[in-house]
Amino acid sequence: MNLPYGLSVSSIASKLRDITIIILTSWTIAFGIVTVVFEAKKDVIRDSARDFLGVNELATKQQTDEIIKTLNQITGADRILYRDPVFSYVKEPVTPDEPVTARYLVKRNSHGASCLAKTAIPLFTDERNIPLPGTLLSPIRQFGTDLTPVEATFLPPDGLFPGRVCITVAVTYRCGGEDAFDQLDPICYVLQSS
């Protein structure tokens, strides 16, 4: 089949093939030159990039582990038990000398997957900011890695001042043959005057 200007389909295909070969050959040669130059000047290029980015040394594994440990402490990922702050609360009103019922939504973090809770001590803090131990009236429970609702009843210590009181539960765990300690984040309530 002849096209205008004396062109044919086969001549156009032949020219496209030749152009493709030229482009691929040019790219291969250019890539080879860049690779050779980079290998010869990689130290200079790396140093220039570090200076430009302001990074003069890379972190060691120990430094990286310390950073990860600090981040885990900040985010709570190194904790054994997680308490959802939105859905955990104390049933109010609370009057002196009566048990306190708290509702928690908790789960075990992956960090504490193999840990078993041994003891739990509720610590009550009033306006004096001195933690005073109370008594856990509910049995100690083990939790999985899914959020689980739980209701716990505590007997507060005598002599708490009316007003804002916070409960923190200090828990002792057995993790892989060793004891570990953790505590739930505090939840607060208003203690009515008698």
Tokens for 114, please give them. 């193999």
Question: How much is the mean pLDDT over the chain?
Answer: 87
pLDDT of residue 2: 59
- Taking the C-alpha atoms of residue 175 and residue 184, their distance in angstroms, rounded to an integer, is 17
Measured from the Cβ of residue 181, the count of other Cβ atoms closer than 10 Å reads 10
Cis check: omega of the bond before 93, within 30 degrees of 0: yes
Residues sharing a CB contact under 8 Å with residue 103, sequence separation 6 or more, in sequence order: 87, 88, 89, 90, 91, 149, 150, 151
* More confident: 60 or 152: 152
> What is the mean pLDDT of the segment spanning 87-109?
93
pLDDT at 4 over 70: no
- Nearest in space to 184 (alpha carbons), one of 89, 116, 83, 105: 83
Tokens for 144, please give them. 């999985």
pLDDT tens-place string over residues 105-124:
998 888 788 889 999 999 99
| Amino acid symbol at 68 | I
- Nearest in space to 154 (alpha carbons), one of 100, 97, 85: 100
Q: State in Å, rounded, how far the first CA of the chain is from the last one.
A: 106
pLDDT tens-place string over residues 47-77:
887 778 777 666 678 888 888 888 877 777 7
